[in-house]
Amino acid sequence: MSKKTYSYKDVVELSTVIEIDGKRKRITFSGGQMFPFKVDAKFTTSDEEIQEAIEKKKAFKNKNIFISAKYEDPKEGEAESKISAEVLEGKLNKAGFAEYPEITKVQEAKDVLHRKYGVLLTELKNKEDVLAAASKKKVSFPNLA
């Protein structure tokens, strides 16, 4: 299942109805602005039925609604992460931080921060972001390269 963000062209906010299995559902595109620069209203969902209903709308076919971002989930059968549940536990060090000496790569640290501490992956763009987030969550990666 993938998550998609839809943008509604030249709209600041719009509430519209879609139909799923004969039932009407209201969705809201929001977050747009016209001044000082134009930003289209957006709606994000990972629900495939809602995605299909949006993509059947006339506004989508006319390109007034378009997909502005798509986030793919790991494929079935692929390991979501190479980090085991034991590693995710971490040990408390003297400073009271959860310590993960087994973690040596930035991607592994991102996985721990995301899976165990709920940090959004979009907030972990580079090593500095990872270290800053780790500090906020009282987590330590002493062997991070």
Residue count (the chain): 145
DSSP 88-108: HH-EE-TTS-EE-TT--SHHH
pLDDT band per the 50, 70, 90 thresholds, residue 30: very high
Position 70 scores a pLDDT of 85
- The conformation of residue 24, written as its DSSP 8-state character, comes to E
Position 71 scores a pLDDT of 80
- Range with the poorest average pLDDT among 84-88, 125-129, 141-145: 84-88
What's the whole-number mean pLDDT along residues 59-67?
A: 94
| Residue of higher predicted confidence among 93 and 83 | 93
The whole-angstrom separation of Cα 129 and Cα 93 is 22
Position 76 scores a pLDDT of 46
Residues forming beta bridges with residue 24, ordered by sequence position: 19
pLDDT at 14 over 90: yes
pLDDT at 77 over 80: no
Residue 63 near residue 33 (C-beta atoms within 8 A): no
The string over 76-98, giving b where at least 16 C-beta atoms fall within 10 Å of a residue's C-beta and e elsewhere, is: eeeeebebeeebeebeeeeeebb
pLDDT at 128 over 90: yes
Position 1 scores a pLDDT of 62
First vs last Cα of the chain: how many Å apart? 33
